[in-house]
Amino acid sequence: MKKKLTTLFALAFIAISSFAQQSPVKWTSKAVKENANTYKVIITATVPAPWHIYSQYMKDGGPVPTTFDFTKNPLMTLQGKTAEKGDLKTVRDKNFDNMEVKYYSGKVDFIQVVKVKGNIKTNVSGKINFMVCNDHECLPPSDQSFSVKLQ
């Protein structure tokens, strides 16, 4: 009985450890002032080989697309959609029933234009949800918080 319990605990520990695997993606963010009231918020994902993350613009039924949830701030407004700038790959992925998927490896910038009300200082903050995969496995979707000063 004692041996069975030890084995059960060991298996549970291994299962929990595998789910706790850290994402290899490193995130940075900055704001570039375009004019008196407009900024480009640039959120950069650095994705080491052989990993990749997915575009925001994916069809349903495949991998989890990258999404941005900006915290509401009455001192600013988002202008348009978040743009993507990087080396976008479009392939048919056998891991997702030969579905066409769009992904980035290496480095990708996600750019959101924001407009502030008046000449003020504030922050843009929020959460990124993303999934990282390689040719053999995917890690569970992860959340990453960000905050960028607008000055």
Q: What is the pTM of this model?
A: 0.84
DSSP state of 14: H
Fold of the domain built from segment(s) 32-150: Immunoglobulin-like (2.60.40)
pLDDT digits (tens, 9 = 90+) for 120-140: 899 999 999 999 999 889 999
In angstroms, the Cα distances linking 33 to 15, 29, 115 are: 46, 14, 10
Instruction: Answer yes or no: is pLDDT of 54 > 50.
Output: yes
Helix (H) / strand (E) element for 104: namely strand 99-116
